[in-house]
Amino acid sequence: MQVWEVCSGIQNTENTPIKPSQQPCLPNWQPLATDRGTEYVNSELETYFSDKGVIDNTTAPYTPEQNRVAERFNRTLKEKMRAMLLDAKLGSEHRADAASTATYVKNRSPSSHSSQTPWELFFGRKPDVSGMRLFKSKAYVHVPKQLRRKLDPLSTAGIFIGYEPNSKAYRVLMDSGKAQISRDVIFIERVPSAANKAAATEAEQANNEVSAGVPDSPITVQEDNSEADSTGIDLGPKYSSGGCILP
C-alpha cells in the first residue's frame, strides 16, 4: 500500500520535514480511518505513521458502518463489476480485470458532489481520456513482424478487458483464454443490436423490392374458367395482382 505524504514539503530551520503533529496550523488535516485489516494494522505502518505524525483511527470489529465511505465505494465497485461481467458474458475469473477497469473509469469521471474528477482533485490536472475504450468491445491486436511469417494474419481478434497498470497499453482477452498486452489495437465499439440488425434487414429488403419494381400487394392465382378462345379451349387460370388481370 502506498501512503501519500501530504506534508512532506513542510520543513523547519534544520531543513528536515516537520511532522503534521508538530504543525498546529496545518489546514484540512484529517486522521486516517481503517477497518483493522492486517494490511493497515501492522508494525511497518505503525512506524511510518509515528514518524509522519499520522493519526490512525480504527473501526470497531465487524462494524462496517463506521467506515461508510469506503464500504459504499466497495458496493458501487461491485455493482459495476457485476454489470460489466454479465454484459461481456465473462466468468468471475475475470473479476480482477473488471475491478481494475471500473476503478480506472471512476477515477476519471466526475462525481455527484464535484464537477472535477478524482484524478483532477488528486493530481491537479485533468486526465487524458482519449485512450478510454468500451469494456468487452471487439479488439484486433497487431501481430509484430518478428512474430509472424509473410502470409500470416496481421492481427488477431479478442475482447478488450482493461488497461495494463503502469503502462500505456491495453489488455485483450484472446480466444486462447490468455490476456495479451499491446498498444497497437483497433477497436470495434459500436456493434448494432439484434433489433437494429432486424430493422436494417427489413429496410434493405424493402429497398430491393422497390428498385426491382415488385408490387407491394402479394400475387394471387385466380381461376377464370368462363373465358375461352374461339376454339372453345379453356385458357386456364389467370394471374392477378391487386384485382387487376395480368395478360
Task: Say if CB 171 and CB 92 are below 8 A apart.
Answer: no
The string of pLDDT tens digits covering residues 97-122 is 999 999 999 999 988 878 889 999 88
The grid cell for 209 is 423490392
CA dihedral (205, 206, 212, 214) positive or negative: positive
Element (H, E) at 206: helix 194-212
Query: pLDDT by residue (tens digit) across 186-209?
Result: 999 875 566 666 766 777 777 666
Q: How confident is the model at residue 218 (pLDDT cuts 50, 70, 90)?
A: low
Report the distance separating Cα 21 and Cα 29, nearest Å. Answer: 10
At 100, give phi and psi (nearest 5°): -65, -40
Contacts of 238 (CB under 8 A, 6+ apart): 222, 224, 227, 245, 246
Report the alpha-carbon distance of residue 10 to residue 166 in Å, rounded: 29
- Domain extent listing, the chain: 133-192
Count how many Cα atoms sit within 13 Å of the Cα of residue 106 in the half-sphere of its side chain: 15
Question: Rounded to two decimals, what is the model's pTM?
Answer: 0.59
Q: Which CATH number fits domain 133-192: 2.40.350, 2.30.30, 1.10.10, 2.20.28?
A: 2.30.30
Q: Give the pLDDT score at 39.
A: 86
Of all residues in the chain, what percent carry a pLDDT higher than 90? 39
Mean pLDDT taken over the chain: 76
Q: How far is CA 94 from CA 88, 175, 187, 189, in A?
A: 10, 14, 20, 20
